Amino acid sequence: MITKDTYTFKILRYDAKAPDEKPEFQLYRIKVIPGLTVLAMLIRIRDEIDGTLSFRSSCRSAVCGSCAMVINGKIDLACRTQVAFFESNTIILEPLPNMDIIKDLVVDMEPFWDMYEKVQPYLIRKTPDPGKEITQSEEERSRIDQFVNCILCASCYGACPVVSRNPEYIGPAALAKLERFILDSRDERGAGFLKTMNNEKGLWGCDTVLRCIDACPKDVRPTDAIVELRKILIKEKMKQLFDKEGR
Amino acid sequence: MMLHHDVLIVGGGLAGLRAAVGLSKKYDVAIVSKVHPIRSHSIAAQGGINASLANNPDGRDDTCEKHAFDTIKGSDYLADQHSVEIMCKEASEIVYEMEHWGCPFSRFPDGTIAQRPFGGGGYPRTCYSTDITGHVLLNTLYERAVSKRIKFYQEWYIVALVTDNGRCGGVIAFDLVRGKIIPIAAKTTLFATGGYGRVYFHSTNALINTGSGIGMAYKAQVPIKDMEFVQFHPTGLIGTNILMTEACRGEGGYLLNNKNERFMEKYAPKAMELAPRDIVSRSIQTEIEEGRSFEHALGKYIKLDLRHLGEKKILSKLPGIRKICIDFIGIDPIIEPIPIMPCQHYSMGGIDTNEKCETEMKGFYAAGECACVSVHGANRLGGNSLLETIVFGKLAGLAIDEYLTNNDVKADEKIVQDRKDEIEKKIIRLVSGSGEKPFILQTELAKTMSRNVGIFRKKEEIVEAINNIINIKERYRNVCVSSPSRHMNYELMNTIELEYMLEVAHTIAVGAHQREESRGSHYRRDFTKRDDTQWMKHTIARIGEGGGPVITSKEVTITQYQPMERIY
Ligand SMILES: Cc1cc2nc3c(=O)[nH]c(=O)nc-3n(C[C@H](O)[C@H](O)[C@H](O)COP(=O)(O)OP(=O)(O)OC[C@H]3O[C@@H](n4cnc5c(N)ncnc54)[C@H](O)[C@@H]3O)c2cc1C
């Protein structure tokens, strides 16, 4: 029986191992108890209706970054999206764009991680470590706050229009990570490091249309990072020009 | 195809990553994890990590001895004291090391690492990064692992631990994406597979926390220890059971019943809301059972009130908690109290190891939440688990190094290959069952555990649980997986893990049944006192001939802290 609390989940099904079969939406009807999330419903669908449905999940509390997907046209984490939040009783679920589908809602994140690794995403120190902590003021610590919050869920990477036309573009998450280290008072990689990003695959690729900011479930603003990092490049360039003229 | 490694680490959480980072220079190390390492459950830790840095102006005279004392008292004297001393001594160095590797801790005005009070600690010694401490620690260790170019097999899950004649030969892995069984022969194997929260119905743990590693070790004849000690966290959000960190109370939050009383006054007049977790959870449960709780469609609850902390403190110290409350229950803790209930949270018991993370099985090690060293005894203090994972991850690395340096170890391919063939048959059997769906069995198991082996226990209820578990084990033999397809088949993975969850649950229930006393998290309504003459000992469970656990015991190591009554 179809009642007010019966929802239809339209889920994109595809299996890269059966490439001849085209991606297709499959419909699942299920009763929703108020307070349940899209992830909770996906689990019920897999458990009770269709054991072949594939999707990633782990923490179910919006911290592990496993379950980013397109929910009624908008990228978000399935675990933090309340079903009751939508006006209509139909919920359409698709995998994150810009990455190949492995199966159903699971995409191949390899390119995302490759880009992440390109920015040398770790603290680089040259001075020997002190016997205690390297001190850092509260203000210095708070500068990196928003970038520290990134959960690497690839929502921004999936939303980025530049990535979709140029797969070689490094993408918002990696650049936000880079800014997290450049801004860290303890990091000693130096601005010279940005040379490798001084091109269309790197810092100049971004269209600054802010899709990444809209998509981020953790209020990170990758475009801020990109703009700040570009400023460093411009300053360097100006300094070089100025030095030449001075001579 | 068979893979070979000097060191095979199962688990990409804090314990596994720390061990790998230490060993990567000298050995061929690989980490297998069923999720990308950054999705491991360590990411979810909120409150902080303990170390007696003495940075807090209110804790200038803190020392590692005091930390050890608090830990041992908190453990209700079941922890092995020499292991606790090692952990507390290593703590400061470990925290500094994480800081040097880039961990963005919160800071005090003088630029040192910030520290806050936590339950059961006499001093404010919990180092933190707002309320995302696990997130920053795991990111830092993963970053370090990336810089060391450590080999990861991600989204591979382990199906079996291979042992023979007291030696470990490696593991049988399953590549989820390609759907292939892959035997891995390893000179040494380390399990860092985390806790078993999902054996319970109400748990703060991630969905992936099945405890399968503990179950696999047990099935491979490795003894496991103190399984009856299960930590229930006082403050899980009702409904989703997402954790509301102890830091909420560390920062000054109150617990209120339906009479608007701070009821902890009755149970722990000095420590109040910051008494250890076992005590606070029992107090909340008592308030609920005696009718002083609130009602909600999602269940009975108690209020966690942060409002008096003020907007500024909540935004600066507990921003993640606020966001969770808004996203998951539509409540802003600045304006309204948070509805909470106690939930399963942590596994004190686990694979029996010594202070070097060695098990009885040669070449097999365990560290982190899946292991029982034991540093938490009958009750873990908040902030000590993150510490345990990193300290013992490091020490496991040192022990493995020592073993590989002093012995000419050769991997035994044959036992691994033989085991692979067995697993192949097992999977064929699983996908051809015609009985119940796995989730039905899993839900029934979890409900049984929450109902009958929970915060308060008694003989008849535990016996009922044991009978249910045996019954579910029987039904599992004919469990039905929807599709025989092997790649990306999460249902198949869950079904394989369910077998191990059943073993884990069985050892918890049998341990709880045997231990006729109340100690730490294990509370028997029919034996309400701690009994040091009979029960000051660890419970050891081994798999018996008939499939059920056989229980023996093991001495507790006491160095300098004689058992006292625990009053807070
Ligand atoms: C919500 C929450 C908050 C917490 N907050 C704190 C806190 O503030 N302070 C504190 O000290 N402690 C806290 N804890 C406890 C602490 O976070 C955990 O005990 C600790 O992180 C466990 O780390 P681990 O490395 O042992 O395991 P985990 O981080 O759980 O990692 C386990 C790893 O094993 C892998 N794995 C498991 N089984 C298999 C298999 N069969 N095959 C392949 N891979 C497998 C997983 O993929 C994962 O990589 C908290 C716990 C919870 C639930």
* Model pLDDT for residues A58-94, shown as the tens digit of each residue: 999 999 999 999 999 999 999 999 998 898 999 999 9
Q: What angle do CA B69, B71, B72 make, to 5 degrees?
A: 65
Nearest residue in chain A measured CA to CA from B316: A142
Domains contained in chain B, number: 2
- What residue ranges define each of the domains in chain A, with the CATH number in brackets? 6-107 (3.10.20.30), 110-244 (1.10.1060.10)
What is the rounded CA–CA span in Å between residue B349 and residue B346?
9
Contacts of A140 (CB under 8 A, 6+ apart): A184, A185, B107
CATH of the domain at B530: 1.20.58.100
B562: buried, middle or exposed (CB in 10 Å: 19+, 13-18, 0-12)?
Answer: exposed
Question: In this structure, is residue B385 part of a structural domain?
Answer: no
Contacts of A131 (CB under 8 A, 6+ apart): B96
User: Of A100, A83, A79, whose CA–CA distance to A28 is shortest?
Assistant: A83
| R_g (Cα) of chain A, nearest Å | 22
Question: In this structure, is residue B225 part of a structural domain?
Answer: no
Which pLDDT tens digit goes with each residue over A191-232?
Answer: 788 999 999 999 999 999 999 999 999 999 999 999 999 999
Which range has the worst mean pLDDT, A149-163, A226-240, B97-111? A226-240
Same domain for B421 and B337, yes or no, is no
Domain span at residue B440? 415-536
Using CA atoms, how far residue A160 sits from A215, A223, B42, B144, in Å, is 9, 11, 29, 28
CATH of the domain at B297: 3.90.700.10
| Domain termination site, one of B342, B362, B383 | B342
B40, B242, B365: residue to mutate for ligand 1 pocket, most atoms within 8 A of CB: B40
pLDDT, position A3: 63
What is the rounded CA–CA span in Å between residue B138 and residue B526?
42
Decide: helix, strand or coil at residue A103: strand
B25: buried, middle or exposed (CB in 10 Å: 19+, 13-18, 0-12)?
Answer: exposed
Which residues on adjacent β-strands are paired with residue B539? B553
How does DSSP classify residue A2?
A: -
Q: What is the pLDDT along chain B (568 residues), one digit of tens a residue?
A: 899 999 999 999 999 999 999 999 999 999 999 999 999 999 999 999 999 999 999 999 999 999 999 999 999 999 999 999 999 999 999 999 999 999 999 999 999 999 999 888 889 999 999 999 999 999 999 999 999 999 999 999 999 999 999 999 999 999 999 999 999 999 999 999 999 999 999 999 999 999 999 999 999 999 999 999 999 999 999 999 999 999 899 999 999 999 999 999 999 999 999 998 999 999 999 999 999 999 988 889 999 999 999 999 999 999 989 999 998 888 999 999 999 999 999 999 999 999 999 999 999 999 999 999 999 999 999 999 999 999 999 999 999 999 999 999 988 899 999 999 999 999 999 989 899 999 999 999 999 999 999 999 999 999 999 999 999 999 999 999 999 999 999 999 999 999 999 999 999 999 999 999 999 999 999 999 999 999 999 999 999 988 899 999 999 999 999 998 888 8
User: Of B22, B5, B2, B8, whose CA–CA distance to B393 is shortest?
Assistant: B22
pLDDT, position A2: 54
pLDDT, position B411: 83
Window B:81-120, CB contacts with A under 8 Å = 95-96, 99-102, 104-113
Chain A residues in contact with B491 (beta carbon < 8 A): 46, 51-52
Same domain for B424 and B532, yes or no, is yes
Question: In this structure, is residue B69 part of a structural domain?
Answer: no
Token pair in block for residue B276: 């250890």
| Domain termination site, one of B303, B320, B342 | B342
Which of A56, A134, A181 is the closest to B99 by Cβ?
A134
b/e sequence B473-483, b meaning 16+ C-beta within 10 Å? beebeebbbbe
What is the rounded CA–CA span in Å between residue B159 and residue B430?
13
Give the residue-averaged pLDDT of A122-141. 96
Task: Tally the C-alpha atoms within 13 A of residue B528's C-alpha that lie toward its C-beta.
Answer: 2
What is the rounded CA–CA span in Å between residue B460 and residue B526?
10
Chain A residues in contact with B107 (beta carbon < 8 A): 135-138, 140-141
pLDDT, position B547: 84
pLDDT, position A247: 60
| Predicted-complex ipTM score | 0.96
Do residue B100 and residue A15 have CB atoms under 8 angstroms apart? no
pLDDT, position B567: 80
pLDDT, position B269: 94
Are B141 and B389 a contacting pair, CB within 8 Å?
Answer: no
What kind and span of H or E run contains A182? helix A172-182
Question: In this structure, is residue B373 part of a structural domain?
Answer: no
Using CA atoms, how far residue B406 sits from A21, A207, B366, B429, in Å, is 56, 58, 20, 42
**Ligand 1 site, residue B47, Cβ cutoff 6 A:** yes
| R_g (Cα) of chain B, nearest Å | 22
What is the rounded CA–CA span in Å between residue B252 and residue A100?
48
Distance, CA B467 to ligand 1 centroid (Å)?
30
Are B540 and B513 a contacting pair, CB within 8 Å?
Answer: no
Question: In this structure, is residue B80 part of a structural domain?
Answer: no
Distance, CA B13 to ligand 1 centroid (Å)?
6
Using CA atoms, how far residue B281 sits from A56, B232, B379, in Å, is 32, 6, 12
Sheet holding B549-555, edge to edge: B371-372, B350-352, B224-225, B537-543, B549-555
pLDDT, position B529: 96
Question: In this structure, is residue B125 part of a structural domain?
Answer: no
Question: In this structure, is residue B198 part of a structural domain?
Answer: no
Chain A residues in contact with B481 (beta carbon < 8 A): 51
Nearest residue in chain A measured CA to CA from B481: A51
Are A62 and A77 a contacting pair, CB within 8 Å?
Answer: yes
| Domain termination site, one of B342, B364, B385 | B342
A2: buried, middle or exposed (CB in 10 Å: 19+, 13-18, 0-12)?
Answer: exposed
Question: In this structure, is residue B476 part of a structural domain?
Answer: yes
pLDDT, position A246: 63
Do residue B35 and residue A103 have CB atoms under 8 angstroms apart? no
Which pLDDT tens digit goes with each residue over A32-48?
Answer: 887 789 999 999 999 99
Instruction: Give the nearest ligand 1 atom to B37 CA.
Output: 49
What is the rounded CA–CA span in Å between residue A46 and residue A67?
15
**Ligand 1 site, residue B34, Cβ cutoff 6 A:** yes
Q: Give yes or no for A58 touching B (CB within 8 A).
A: yes
Tell me the three-class secondary structure of B378-411, residue by residue: CCCCCCHHHHHHHHHHHHHHHHHHHHHHHCCCCC
How does DSSP classify residue B137?
A: H
Q: Give yes or no for B329 touching A (CB within 8 A).
A: yes
Contacts of B360 (CB under 8 A, 6+ apart): B166, B222, B223, B352
Instruction: Give the nearest ligand 1 atom to B12 CA.
Output: 49
What is the rounded CA–CA span in Å between residue B417 and residue B433?
25
pLDDT, position B298: 83
Are B49 and B87 a contacting pair, CB within 8 Å?
Answer: no
Do residue B100 and residue A125 have CB atoms under 8 angstroms apart? yes
Decide: helix, strand or coil at residue B371: strand
Q: Calculate the average pLDDT of chain A.
A: 94
The whole model's pTM is what?
0.97
